[in-house]
Structure 1
Amino acid sequence: MLTLKHVLVLDNFQYFLPKCPALEWLEILMCSQLHNLHVSEPLLRLEFLRVQGCAINKIELHAPKLTTFEYRGCFKVIIALHKCLKLKTASIASHIEDNLEYVFTGLPNGLPHVERLHVKVFVRTQIPGFTQLPLKFINLRHLIMRITFGSAKRFGKNAVLQLAYLLEAAPLLVDLHLDVSYYAICTFILFVVLNTL
């Protein structure tokens, strides 16, 4: 296990990780100088990866045993874990940016094998119309999504119905738990369970 917290991590970090062949659990927390987590060699035993509070632009690695990935930070990051075939559970959170569209356009490509996804996002402006065809979450079965809107006054009464787009983006979804709240104004919870025939 390795946890790095408030550590100065430089670009040569990619050469350090392959020298830890027994590494199964990696946490990188509040390392503001780490801009890319790119490892060219496979991390053969890595099963858990958490990246939180880093000024990171890209997360790309090949870990054949990786089953769980957690990310908390800016949604401008490129997540490229498509080579991690056993990655089944992911948690993505950003209370910084206003980019719900990223959930539908960036995540399916970077996490194609995920079956359980937990997303937390903060939205300050009107939800876009989602006119582009999405990439698909082809394996996603269970989704928990928590969305906080910055101001109820900016949204029409039916804005939340646009989230039905989730059903297009994840055609094999079995369970959907959607929590939607308006910051400091009103809160409601919508719980939907979808059963496939």
Structure 2
Amino acid sequence: MYRSVGSTHCPKKTIYGMRRSNFELGDLPEDVLHTVFSKLQLNEVVRTSVLSNKWRHMWTISSKLSLDCAAICGRRRYFCDKQKYTQEFIDGVNTVLQQLRGKVVEELEVKVEFDSILVDHLDSWINFAVSSCTKNLALDLAPAEFVGVKDRYMFPIELFDSASIPRIQHIQLSCISFRPHSPFRGFPNLKKLDLHLFDVSVLDLDDMLSGCPNLEWLSFIRCRVSDELKVKQPLSRLLYLHIAHCTITKVELRAENLKTFVYHGGRLPIDLGQVKNLETAELRLYGITFEYVLSVLPNVLLGVQNVTLQTSYLPLEMPLFLENISSFSRLKFLRLLLFVSCRESDNIVSLASFLRAAPLIEELEMHFDASCLEGVGWGTLRSLPGSYNYLRKVHITGFNGIKGQLEFLVHIVENAPVLEVLTVDPRKKLGLCQCNASDFMASRDSVRSELDGKILPSTEVHIL
């Protein structure tokens, strides 16, 4: 029975004297206004200066300062002369900072393409950050085209004193070289370090990271180390680690409480230490083999619960099922994004080795980039053993209906006794789709034909 909810217990009342209040924001006490404005970004506060003469200089109390070249110059560079555009930015920033001398600026961000004429001014702006008690510092000096970048700003760590170093909590550095004159012992209260196009020696990097015991978030993108990323001291508070497209030969650190690991690049030795509870790993790899993925990665990503793996090419070699593989003992969710060549399309069912390596898996996503359309729905399918007792949801895209994909699909359906939801989509999420409507129709027909009589009555099936 449905029960309607009425208003029988709310007697009607006539409300008298309701009128709009004449109270305005400007009526607030000045100290309250200061608190409100200090929470806003600089560009938001500047807009308020035109609303009232009283607020004309209120923007100078903002504790968050973002100095973006497009905002300061009023346009993007595009076809402007780079040096004139940069000089205009320099003049604008110096004007702003001159009016903020003596103020507390907790967050300072500078975003402009690096040019040699910036060096002395960047040093001055860092001096401003030190004197303004800045906690979060971002220097984004990356060029629009960063391939082959050689010129970088030499970060002047010597400008930081004994009072400012413990104050720093977040640092973002892009297109920076770090070459301290003496060993730098790190930022003891740093929580987030974001490095992009960062040039540093392995010794200087080790010294810096070893002196950041409170680090929680660490990212290296297109950084030039040309050696091992090795940290002697444990990073026991590190929760997030991102490494992408770096000239690193090995990763070795101790991060026992790591929750998320993101890696984009080639095959290299990785040792994260005895991680207690790794929740998520996102990997985009090249130059790898089946054996590496199923024999090495489980020992790197100890106890991982969610894995996303993307690779441009993963050889699908015989035998169909690999032996002596390691186990993803706690893996619950697996997302695979794979390119499959025509000559290996008949061996797609070997991907079930991933399921055999994850005895507790509950959800699988497969995103194929398989351009081969030959033999859609042709041939007798092989029946292979398996047991996936916890698998509840399967979602496959880029499903062309070729024999190898059908074998893989039927293998899962026949060996997943608690499967709740199955979604099959011929459209691609990976790579270019060159199929037409008739190809999609053939794919859907082949799926329906092969699932007939094999799918559990309780399974919810979506053929898109």
TM-score range, shorter chain: 0.7 to 0.9
- The one-letter amino acid of 1:140's match is L
Which residue is 2:335 aligned to?
144
Whose strand proportion is higher, 1 or 2? 1
What is the RMSD of the two structures over their aligned residues, measured on CA atoms? 2.4
Alpha-carbon distance, 1:98 to partner: 4.5
The alignment status of 1:188 with 2:188, answered yes or no, reads no
Q: Tell me, what secondary structure is at the counterpart of 1:8?
A: strand
Moved over 6 A (4+): 189-193
Alpha-carbon distance, 1:188 to partner: 2.1
Alpha-carbon distance, 1:141 to partner: 1.1
Matches of 1:156 and 1:147, distance apart in 2: 12
The alignment status of 1:56 with 2:248, answered yes or no, reads yes
The alignment status of 1:155 with 2:344, answered yes or no, reads yes
Alpha-carbon distance, 1:80 to partner: 1.6
Q: Check 1:47–1:124 CA distance in 2 against 1; reply closer, same or farther (3 A cut).
A: closer
Q: Tell me, what secondary structure is at the counterpart of 2:202?
A: coil
Q: Tell me, what secondary structure is at the counterpart of 1:41?
A: coil
Which residue is 2:280 aligned to?
89
CA contact (8 A) 2:239 2:258 kept: yes
CA contact (8 A) 2:294 2:325 kept: yes
Matches of 1:9 and 1:34, distance apart in 2: 9
CA contact (8 A) 1:142 1:176 kept: yes
CA contact (8 A) 1:82 1:113 kept: no
Matches of 2:372 and 2:236, distance apart in 1: 48
Which residue is 2:300 aligned to?
110
Matches of 2:239 and 2:314, distance apart in 1: 35
The alignment status of 1:31 with 2:242, answered yes or no, reads no
Which residue is 2:363 aligned to?
175
Alpha-carbon distance, 1:138 to partner: 0.9
Which residue is 1:127 aligned to?
317
Provide Cα deviations, 1:61-111, integer angstroms capped at 9, x if missing partner. 112321101000002x112224121221111112x3252332111100111
- Number of aligned residue pairs: give it: 190
Using CA pairs under 8 Å that are at least 6 residues apart, name the structure with larger relative contact order, 1 or 2: 1
Matches of 1:180 and 1:147, distance apart in 2: 5
CA contact (8 A) 2:202 2:230 kept: no
CA contact (8 A) 1:79 1:107 kept: no
Q: Tell me, what secondary structure is at the counterpart of 1:104?
A: helix
Alpha-carbon distance, 1:140 to partner: 0.9
Q: Tell me, what secondary structure is at the counterpart of 2:209?
A: helix
Alpha-carbon distance, 1:7 to partner: 1.3
- The one-letter amino acid of 1:188's match is F
Which residue is 2:430 aligned to?
none
Matches of 2:307 and 2:289, distance apart in 1: 17
CA contact (8 A) 2:240 2:259 kept: yes
Segments of 5+ residues of structure 1 without an aligned counterpart are none
The alignment status of 1:164 with 2:355, answered yes or no, reads no
TM-score, with structure 2 as normaliser: 0.38
Alpha-carbon distance, 1:165 to partner: 0.9
- Percent identical pairs in the alignment equals 31
Q: Tell me, what secondary structure is at the counterpart of 1:57?
A: strand
| Among 280, 291, 297, the residue aligned to 1:101 | 291
Provide Cα deviations, 1:14-70, integer angstroms capped at 9, x if missing partner. 222021122111100101334322222111221110000012222221123211010
The alignment status of 1:68 with 2:260, answered yes or no, reads yes
CA contact (8 A) 2:263 2:284 kept: yes
Whose helix proportion is higher, 1 or 2? 2
Alpha-carbon distance, 1:125 to partner: 4.4
Matches of 1:148 and 1:156, distance apart in 2: 10
Matches of 2:247 and 2:323, distance apart in 1: 29
Q: Check 1:33–1:160 CA distance in 2 against 1; reply closer, same or farther (3 A cut).
A: same
Matches of 1:124 and 1:133, distance apart in 2: 19
CA contact (8 A) 2:222 2:246 kept: yes
- The one-letter amino acid of 1:5's match is H
Matches of 1:37 and 1:72, distance apart in 2: 15
- The one-letter amino acid of 1:138's match is S
TM-score, with structure 1 as normaliser: 0.85
